[in-house]
Amino acid sequence: MGSVPVFSFEFFPPRTPEGKAKLRAAWQELARLEPRFFSCTYGAGGSTREGTLETVLEIRKAGHEAAPHISCVASTKKDVGEQLALYKSHGIRHVVALRGDLPSGIAASGEFRYANELVAFIRETTGDWFRIEVACYPEYHPQTRNAADEVKNFRKKVEAGADAAITQYFYNADAYFRFVDECRAAGIAVPIVPGIMPIGNFSQLARFSDACGAEIPRWMRVKLEGYRDDAASIRAFGLDAVTALCARLLAGGAPGLHFYTLNQAALSAEIWRRLKL
């Protein structure tokens, strides 16, 4: 790639005053590391609309770049258009555009089926105002029927106007390198930044991973399970394994790293320090 790596940190909108205070301390600590940007997730159907914007505005007010996510599942074009207009009115020029997931059992009603339609809508209605990041899946999205479709569907988002992509997290660097090679062969030229999930809690990680189709390699799962509720050993092992993953990704040409912080600064900051970024 040759260009300066892009580092970013992702948060979710807190629901309680304590959560807000915790997040504020976390982003303030991480801001000292001078990442390129922060981002904040957006609940499917707009369920966290206010919290997402509030978080982004608080971080931006302190002089840092922050991008809200926006999802389209169960939304009308009017809803999404209004949300984009609101972001624009605050001078926000960077979004992460996703389809989103509805809680199981709830049927989707809305005017968008896939994220490529959202990206196209953003470009049609706001031109080049926003830098648009999209998601992609080196270990395949749970609903993807075959590997070739993953690349084809990702390419639709790029053809619709996405500028860059952030991957779902993974612990197998080869899956990422292979996926990037396949994307390049298919003519996808945008930066593909690995999403990194630090490991602090094994049962939570196992739950997330089952839901989103990310694989915890057996050697890691067996080690982590063996620590049971020994939080210090889980943390120490997780830091070693994830730092080694990040180092390998960067050495292999990854254009940056995007950390899923879960609103905690400590693990991401420690990985950052160990990488000597």
Q: How far apart are CA 193 and CA 133, in angstroms?
A: 10
Given the rule CB under 6 A, which of 23-31, 91-99, 179-187, 249-257 is the region that contacts ligand FAD?
91-99
Scan residues 132-151 and list those touching ligand FAD (CB under 6 A).
Answer: 135, 141, 143-144, 149-150
Rg of the chain (C-alpha set): 18
Identity (one letter) of the amino acid at 248?
A: R
Within 13 A of 137's CA, how many CA atoms are on the CB side?
A: 23
49 binds ligand FAD (CB under 6 A): no
Give 173's contacts (C-beta < 8 A, 6+ positions apart): 245, 248, 249, 252
Q: Does 69 bind ligand FAD (CB under 6 A)?
A: yes
Minimum distance from residue 24 beta carbon to ligand FAD (Å) = 20
Least distance from C-beta 101 to ligand FAD, angstroms? 4
Choosing from 8, 75, 83, 116, the residue that interacts with ligand FAD (CB under 6 A) is 116
Select from 93, 186, 87 the least CA-distant residue to 136.
186
What is the pairing mode between strands 6-11 and 37-40?
parallel
Q: Which of 10, 117, 133, 150 is catalytic?
A: 10
Long-range contacts of 232-238 (CB under 8 A, 24+ apart): 234/199, 234/200, 234/201, 234/202, 235/199, 235/200, 235/267, 237/199, 238/198, 238/199, 238/200, 238/267
Q: Which one, of 160, 164, 155, lies nearest residue 182 by Cα?
A: 155
**In this chain, which stretch among 92-100, 172-180, 219-227, 238-246 interacts with ligand FAD, using CB under 6 A?**
92-100
Examine residue 194 and tell whether it contacts ligand FAD (CB under 6 A). no
Taking the least distance from each CB to ligand FAD, the nearer of 141 and 248 is: 141
Q: Which of these segments, 23-31, 54-62, 152-160, 225-233, binds ligand FAD (CB under 6 A)?
A: 152-160
Pick the closest to residue 260 from 20, 21, 30, 28 (CA basis): 30
Q: Find the shortest distance in angstroms from Cβ 39 to ligand FAD.
A: 8
Answer for which of 101, 111, 182, 215 binds ligand FAD (CB under 6 A) is: 101
Q: Which of 114, 177, 208, 227 binds ligand FAD (CB under 6 A)?
A: 114
> If binding is defined by CB under 6 A, does position 268 make contact with ligand FAD?
no
10 annotated active-site: yes
Which residue ranges make up the site for ligand FAD (CB under 6 A)?
A: 41-42, 44, 69, 71, 96, 98-101, 114-116, 135, 141, 143-144, 149-150, 153, 156-157, 166, 168, 195
The residues annotated as belonging to the active site are 10
